[in-house]
Structure 1
Amino acid sequence: MRISYNWLKDYIDLTESADEIARLLTHSGLEVEKVEKYESIKGGLAGIVIGKVLTCEQHPNADRLRKTTVDVGGETPLNIVCGAQNVAAGQTVVVATIGATMYPLEGDSFPIQKTKIRGEVSEGMLCAEEELGIGKSHDGILVIDADIKPGTSAQEYFEIEVDSIFEIGLTPNRADAASHLGVARDLRALLNRSLKKVDLKNFQPGFKASGITVKVENTKACPRYTGLSIKGVKVAESPAWLKNRLRSIGVNPINNVVDCTNYVMHSLGQPLHAFDQDEIKGNTIFVKNVPANTEFVTLDGVTRKLSENDLMICNTSEPMCLAGVFGGLDSGVKNNTRHIFLECAYFNPETVRTSSMKHGLKTDSSFRFERGTDPNMPKVALRKAAAMIAEIAGGEISSDIIDTNTETFPPFRIETTHQRICKLIGKEIPADRILEIIALLDIKLAFRNGDLLVLDVPPFRVDVQREADLIEEVLRIYGYDNIELSDRLRSDFLSEFPAKDADHIHHLIDQSLIAKGFQEILTNSLTKGAYNELLSKQEDAVPILNKLSEELAFMRPSLAFTGLETVAYNINRRQKNLKLFEWGKVYFKRGTKYNEYNRLSVFITGNQHAESWNTPSKTVDFFDMKAVVVQILEKLHIAVTQVQEIESNPLFSKGVIYKHAGKELVQFGYISQAALKATDVKQEVLFADFNADLLLELYSNKSKYKEISKFPEVRRDLSLVLDASVTFEQIKELALKTERKILTDINVFDVYAGKQIAEGKKSYSLSFTLLDNEQTLTDQVIEATMNKLMQSIEKEFNTIIRK
């Protein structure tokens, strides 16, 4: 959510800098993610002033140039060389002084420097509209008709808006802060400063009926509906100040009527909607539900089929607006609209949320309604918007306000005690200070009896309905940083820490992967149902009951698919060599029980390294991923006791599973073509899926060390011809069982399968490392050991050993 610093000043006096306000808001729970500078004209016309041309004469060394002296309010005039043909003495012009930077509409920016042009000193520039960025004309310099004092800032003359914009990461519970007034309320409490009242002095209602009758049939979904008529409006472009205000917070101006409703919504947090009154058939508005599958064309021109749960604003013959979400194409304000009916209502949040999600429509209006607006605000916002429209669009408020519920909505009543507040906060705060904070938050003290406090919370604070909520409000305004750690804190510990810290393990693996060039990703735990179908696990899928869209309809069954979507996103932007990893949860349903598990995913795709003149590019392969997997397990001191191929997993085309004591540690290999196609990835991807819960369980932080042997090791090589189905892991396991004492390592350094050997066979070249820690190995011992190994391998695998 974007909040304007200048706009906030409409509701509270601020002398603090934008950075200080950002710090205060963040510390109180409205986290300011960044502060941006906004300028209605790029550069803000800094260093540019209004000047008066005193003299203008022909340049002595150039036919097309003029030599001028210009008064810019300084002690002496500036000498400026100008190439515009329309420059003349006596003109009031716009002057860019030395040090200013120009931001033309086209081309790059450039600084203004003192220079010599054809031998004559030039101390600035006389500007055209296009060079200033305020218009497209470049026929000559901009000449101002008015008699303006030389030296006047161009920023002031052109009413350039310069502002600081706060990007606030608004949490879903803080619906009250989705407006400038809402943020100003927090600042009032933080700064102990008075809040300015909403300016309604220009509201002058008519004293006759609007001619529109309002009938609310579903009062549960719409507890309050207000409206009035404005006649004789002229729909046109909004004034510059209004367009600048909206643009500063990222809202595109539309026309003076709609812009006024948007301005009030972002000011007060109350959405409004303007109807073309001539389109309200039967001069009656019905707030009701319509039959299922009724067709309705929204403002974006899309025909939508309504549900029986959708609350609609209708006339006597058809729907006109999806309540609280989106207006209709025919009933909205158009260029030829002359009479409008302005609506301002309070809708049930659940009703708006249901319609918004069903139709996939997320608007500024639904954002506020579905979180909960102030039921007492509609009449205030209606008066504010009506007065603005009458002033800006030239209309006349032709009716008094229609209000279907004139009663004030009651506050939320909460009971607590001073002792309870201090106990939960962890600090003894004076009762007077607590009551001061409560009052600054618009919370009224209804009753006090000794330590007991009975408080009334205004209905716009939909997130404060319990004692804990109230105490949190006191704490965030008092300041989390003001709660000191007690000097009586005690901690007992043993010399060893048997408890395993998941964060520590994450850090170990993160640092290891980052050192190898990996980047961590974080993906959404909500995903599409098609992925469950690909995994053939529809019965295990965890659906979202209030899904935002079909793309976010299920909890993810695997980290593979959201990770592959990230891979596809990067590849589509020509980033094809990727090393990514992610920690996250996956979700399953077993009967009526829901389960979630922690996983670690690793992705590799593309080339091992960037192209280089002296090193040929090589595509990553299975063994690159194996090296990563082995490194992670060794880092955690976890042994692999069983290896098997992946046989029937729709995620993998081929791969292996590493196990420890029968439990699956990780499965890794090549992603299947079906999974690649489902995520629109057009190159091979290697994927490893770790059981992060088991990694934590098996992790040992005790490294084992042994003394380096004083005796030399010996290597012997064997070349074997064996069945293609026999794996190196099988040979290695057998060899280590056969010789447990002096065989320390076995490695395969060459594999061959082709014309030189029989079909269905392959050749392995193996190296065996022998070492005795107690004595130097003799030839007799070496020969005896190798013979024992060869006999064992020949017998077990029907192997031919080349000698």
Structure 2
Amino acid sequence: MKVSLSWLKEYAAIESAPEEMAAKLTMAGLEVESVVSRFDYLDRVVVARVEAVIEHPGSDHLHCCRVNVGDTLLNIVCGAPNVREGMVVPCAMVGAVLPGDFKIKKGKLRGEVSEGMLCSASELRLDSDASGLMDLDASLEPGTPLVDALALADAVFEIDLTPNRPDCLSVIGVAREAAAFQDPPVRLNVPGTILPVTDESKPASVSIDDLVRVDILDPELCPRYCAALLVDVTVGPSPFWLQQRLEAVGLTPINNVVDVTNYVMMETGQPLHAFDFDFLAQGRIEVRAAGGSSKFTTLDGKEHTLEPDMLMICDGEAPVALAGVMGGQNSEILPTTTRVLLESAYFNPVSIRKTAKRTGIATDASHRFERGVDPVATRAVLERAAVLMAAVSGGALAKGVIDVNPLKSSPVQISLNVEQLNRRLGTDLGTDQIKTLLESVEFRVEDQAEGVLSVAVPSFRVDVTRPEDLSEEVARLWGYDNIQTSFPAVAPSGRQLSPRIAFREKVRDCMVGFGFSEAVNYSFTSAESVDRLKLDENDSRRSVERLLNPISEEMAVMRSTLLPWLFENMRRNHAQQVETLRLFEVGNTFIAEGHGVQPREVECLSAILTGSRVVPSWHAKAVEVDFFDIKGVVEGLLSDLGIKGVRFSRATRQDQPYLRVGNGACIEANGRLLGVVGEVAPDVLKNFGLKQTAFVFELDLEGLLVSAPEAIVSKPLPKFPAISRDITLIIDGDLAAADIMDEAAAFVQKESLVEDAFLFDVYAGKPLAEGKRSISLRVVYRSLDKTLKEKKIKGLHERISKHLIETFKADLPS
């Protein structure tokens, strides 16, 4: 939102300097992003006196002028017909840049030196007169900057408004705020919400009621619709003052009819629309939902597909405007327009917001309607605009105004407890102080009871509906800097960190220790991610929660797994030639529980590993990571967390369709499924635009927390040496090594001398028979109170070997 200081001063006696005003508005909640001088392009334009005029020897229309610019005389060639000796005019010095990016340079015109440029009002955008030089007051001193001489100093504020302040999407709204922050506060010099204009035009002999009919068929979407009719209108350029006002706030003048609607919209915050009345079939206006209408072409020439619930402005035959958003080509103001129907309405903000989003149209009108305009000022603003339009277009107003208002707005009345307000803000304001502050921005305040105020909210403040809103008003009007900083008298006490938070941080520390970097991604993902991962949409474990109002198609659903974003991280890194990657993420996944039910949140840990095992160097060749690298990370993590009874079992494609068949495992601990680990299937990698082999794991953080012991018991370091013995078994190829390790682990639990048992080698191939493979286990023996001897463990080792051979029908190597 842009407003100029000169325009603000029309409604309030503002004495503050622009920079001071910007600071006050910002502290009041209207953040001023920039303050620029409106006429900064005139910084090298000065007042000059023409001392002599000589005919140009090489031209019949140019003149060689000697010009006094204060400290020197310049030679300037000028072609203006009204140049004369003694004339005081604006002079653009060498180096000036005039509108249109026109740079003034020293040069020669037909052989004569010219050291500047004498200017017309049009060339300086100070008027539309381009017939000759701008004739200034003869009393002005040469060399005076033109901005100072003509008192042109004007600042334009660019304000970044929050969505809850639609009242400040107008010059009068900002002026109201600026007036309240003067010292002392001043009142707006406009009655109500509009600036009246004296009607100097002759009223038309016709009545609007005889020519126009307005029907609101959807009053919930359009509670009020007002219309005025102008006849004998002449469409043409707007007066220069009107063009200047629009350009100052960033709008482009179009013609006198459209410019008035924009001017009054910027002035009051109420959008208006002008129709060519001769294009309105049957002279009717119907405000209704689109219904069966399917296509509509807007003023910008684009065709839009309408949805049945979109609010439309229609004539007797077809739609003529997207209500509150943009008019249609079939009723636009043309140079030949002579009769204009002017619209001012109040539309349901939610309806306009939906229409603007669906059509992809964002206009100044929709920006205001979707935030909420003043429902009471609809007719007053229409009358203001109609009178102004008649004045600038030479037209006449038809008698009467149509005002259809099926659902009248009710004023908001709030009971404000002064003691509660002070407690909420940490202030000690009296009743009279609060009254003064609220009345400075046009709230009506009366005493209701002892310490209680009755506050009538002005209709333009659609954001104020409860006592908390009034507290915010008082705080910003009083000044946030004036609220004393205080601290609650709470005795300090130690508090344990939540076990869940502490566990999560421990998991992060472990993953970082394994050389992984943490990724932080959005909780949203694309709907296609389910298909890319080959997940079953009917799988209750992965049911996707879809968003009703997504940010974009790439963020249309809540993630049911962390993997899609990790794959995207990998793709982006590969695009930057980063091929070795170790990433993990801890975050919530969201599992749909049915329509209208809050999704179930499951906190997960996922990681991706791809590229080389070590950094290639002269003593270490590049070796690609494999399944056992990622499995080792999982084993190390679970070991660090103190989780016992971990078992890896083969994962099927049905259970985890995104893992490569035969190269994935389910992870369990004490009968509880913790997650999966494995190589990503090639077709899934292809779906995400990846070519390099990648390995992932997914773990349920809740499952890890439940499975981890509350405390890890430490043991003293052993004093006596260990003895290790190996067992090699020939087993069937489809027998899981995990089953053998489970049996070996049982001995660790029940035999005091068995400290550990682990798998250290697997082999398949010749000379073993087809369908067979060998596995080698190492059993570690140790006594806590003496050094073991061979004969002490020989029998135990034979018993373990015999048990494993008999249990799994294994053979010993020949």
SS at match of 2:522: coil
Q: Which runs of 5+ in 2 are unaligned?
A: 49-65, 75-89, 102-114, 118-122, 124-131, 137-141
Q: After the TM superposition, which residues 227-266 of structure 1 pair with which residues of structure 2 at under 5 Å, given as runs?
A: 227-229=227-229, 231-234=233-236, 261=261, 265=265
Partner of 2:536: 535
What is residue 748 of structure 2 aligned with on the other side? 739
Residues 40/485 of structure 1: CA separation in 2 closer, same or farther (3 Å cut): closer
Say if 1:742 and 1:7 are closer, same or farther in 2 by CA, change over 3 A.
farther
Q: Say if 2:22 and 2:157, in contact at 8 Å, map to a contact too.
A: no
Which residue does the alignment assign to 2:517? 517
Whether the 8 Å contact between 2:544 and 2:590 is mirrored in structure 1 is no
Match of 2:658 in 1: 652
Distance 2:714 2:810 in 1: 37
CA 74–207 in structure 1, closer or farther in 2 if over 3 Å, else same: closer
Indicate how the Cα distance of structure 1 residues 51 and 567 shifts in structure 2: closer, same or farther if over 3 A, else same: farther
1:583 to 581, 584, 587: 587
Q: How far apart, CA to CA, are the structure 2 residues paired with 1:658 and 1:473?
A: 57
Distance apart, 1:454 and its partner CA: 2.0
Q: TM-score, normalised by structure 1?
A: 0.69
Conservation of the 8 A alpha-carbon contact between 1:711 and 1:774: yes
Which runs of structure 2 are paired with 1:20-419 in the superposition (5 Å)?
A: 25=26, 35=33, 95=94, 165=158, 167=160, 170=162, 175-176=166-167, 193-194=185-186, 196=188, 197=190, 200=195, 204=199, 207-208=203-204, 209=207, 213-218=212-217, 219-229=219-229, 231-234=233-236, 261=261, 265=265, 268-299=268-299, 303-304=303-304, 306-333=306-333, 340-353=340-353, 355-356=355-356, 365-379=365-379, 381-382=381-382, 396=395, 398=397, 402-405=401-404, 409-419=409-419
Task: Report Cα offsets for 1:743-800 as digits up to 9, x if no partner.
Answer: 6566666655556655445555666666555445545567666655544544444555
Equivalent position amino acid for 2:215 in 1: V
Shift in Å, 1:738: 2.0
> Over residues 226-282 of structure 1, what are the superposed CA-to-partner deviations in whole Å (9 max), with x where a residue is unaligned?
3445632237999986676566xxx89988866765666566543333434443233
* 1:457 and 2:457 aligned: yes
**Secondary structure at 1:330's aligned position in 2?**
helix
Q: Quote the residue 2:496 is aligned against.
A: 497
* 8 Å contact from structure 1 (residues 237, 255) kept in 2: no
Answer yes or no: is the 8 Å Cα contact 1:234–1:395 preserved in 2.
Answer: no
Deviations 1:165-219 (A, max 9, x none): 5555x35x55545566656666666777446557736675763356862412323
Distance 1:658 1:20 in 2: 65
Q: CA separation in 1, counterparts of 2:690 and 2:621?
A: 24
User: Equivalents in 2 of 1:154, 1:612: separation in Å?
Assistant: 69
Residues 705 and 222 (structure 1 numbering): CA distance in 2 closer, same or farther, change over 3 Å? Answer: same
- Over 3 Å counting, the alpha-carbon distance change for 1:789 and 1:342 in structure 2 is farther
Aligned AA (1:457): V
Q: Following TM superposition, by how much is the alpha carbon of 1:17 offset from its aligned partner in structure 2, in angstroms?
A: 7.8
Counterparts of 1:195 and 1:572, CA distance in 2: 63
Report the Cα distance in structure 2 between the residues aligned to 1:694 and 1:320, rounded to whole angstroms.
Answer: 61
Kindly tell me the number of residue pairs found equivalent between the two proteins: 729
Structure 1 residues 507 and 718, CA gap change in structure 2 (3 angstroms): closer
CA shift digits 1:517-564 (9 cap, x unpaired): 3331224389689769953239966566x6469949975261448737
**How has the CA–CA distance of structure 1 residues 280 and 414 changed in structure 2, closer, same or farther, with 3 Å as cutoff?**
same
1:702 to partner: Cα distance: 5.1
Q: Distance in 2 between matches of 1:214 and 1:428?
A: 56
How far apart are the structure 2 equivalents of 1:622 and 1:39? 66
**Residues 269 and 602 of structure 1: CA distance in aligned 2, closer, same or farther (over 3 Å):** farther
Is 193-202 or 413-422 further displaced after alignment? 193-202
Distance change (3 Å), C-alpha of 1:722 and 1:160: farther
Aligned residues of 1:288 and 1:312 also touching (Cα < 8 A): yes
**CA separation of 1:570 and 1:553: change in aligned 2, threshold 3 A:** closer
* Distance (Å, rounded) in 1 between the aligned partners of 2:148 and 2:680: 59
The answer to whether the 8 A contact 1:314-1:321 is kept is yes
Identity of counterpart residues, as a percentage?
Answer: 24
Amino acid in the other structure paired with 2:216? E
CA contact (8 A) 2:270 2:381 kept: yes
Distance apart, 1:467 and its partner CA? 3.7
Q: Structure 2: which amino acid aligns with 1:589?
A: E
Contact 2:748 2:755 survives alignment (8 Å): no
* SS of alignment partner, residue 739 of structure 1: helix
Greater mean deviation of Cα atoms: 730-739 or 767-776: 767-776
Following TM superposition, by how much is the alpha carbon of 1:375 offset from its aligned partner in structure 2, in angstroms? Answer: 0.7
In structure 2, distance between residues paired with 1:396 and 1:511? 80
Aligned match of 2:560 in 550, 558, 577?
A: 558
Which amino acid counterpart does residue 403 of structure 2 have in structure 1? T
| Counterpart residue number, 2:421 | 421
CA distance in 1, matches of 2:431, 2:254: 51
603, 623, 626: which one aligns with 1:599: 603
- Which letter maps to 2:744? A
Larger radius of gyration: 2
**Which amino acid in the other structure matches residue 207 of structure 1?**
P
Residue type of the alignment partner of 1:581 = E
Shift of 1:318: 0.8
AA in 2 matched with 1:234: G
> Cα–Cα, structure 1 residues 96 and 340, in superposed 2: closer, same or farther, change >3 Å?
same
Which amino acid in structure 2 is aligned with residue 652 of structure 1?
A: Y
| CA pair 35-359 structure 1, distance change in 2 beyond 3 A | closer
Partners in 2 of 1:706 and 1:72 — Cα distance?
Answer: 99
Deviations 1:642-682 (A, max 9, x none): 54444334663344444455444444545667866777777
Counterpart code for 1:225: Y
Aligned Cα RMSD in Å?
Answer: 6.0
Judging changes above 3 Å, is the alpha-carbon distance between structure 1 residues 774 and 295 closer, same or farther for their aligned structure 2 residues? Answer: same
Equivalents in 2 of 1:632, 1:268: separation in Å? 64
1:657·1:667 contact (CA, 8 Å) conserved in 2?
Answer: yes
AA aligned to 1:223 is: P
Partner SS state of residue 597, structure 1:
strand
Per-residue deviation at 1:413? 1.4
Structure 1 residues 692 and 716, CA gap change in structure 2 (3 angstroms)? same
Q: Indicate if the aligned counterparts of 1:161 and 1:244 stay in contact, CA closer than 8 A.
A: no
Gaps of at least 5 residues in structure 1 are: 53-69, 79-90, 106-125, 129-133, 135-143
Aligned 8 A contact 2:609 2:694 in 1: yes
1:316 CA displacement: 1.5
Q: Give the match for residue 66 of structure 1.
A: none
- Amino acid in the other structure paired with 2:743: L
User: Structure 2 CA distance, aligned partners of 1:301 and 1:267?
Assistant: 28
Question: Cα gap change, 1:40/1:657 in structure 2, threshold over 3 Å: closer, same or farther?
Answer: farther
For 2:180 and 2:681, the matched residues in 1 are separated by 58
Task: Report the more deviating stretch, 320-329 or 251-260.
Answer: 251-260
- The Cα shift of 1:370 comes to 3.7
Does the CA-based 8 Å contact 2:616-2:622 persist in structure 1?
A: yes
Contact 2:431 2:451 in 1 (8 A): no
Alpha-carbon separation, structure 1, partners of 2:259 and 2:245: 8
Give per-residue Cα distances to partners, 1:52-91, cap 9 Å, x unaligned.
9xxxxxxxxxxxxxxxxx999898999xxxxxxxxxxxx9
**Amino acid aligned to 1:272:** L
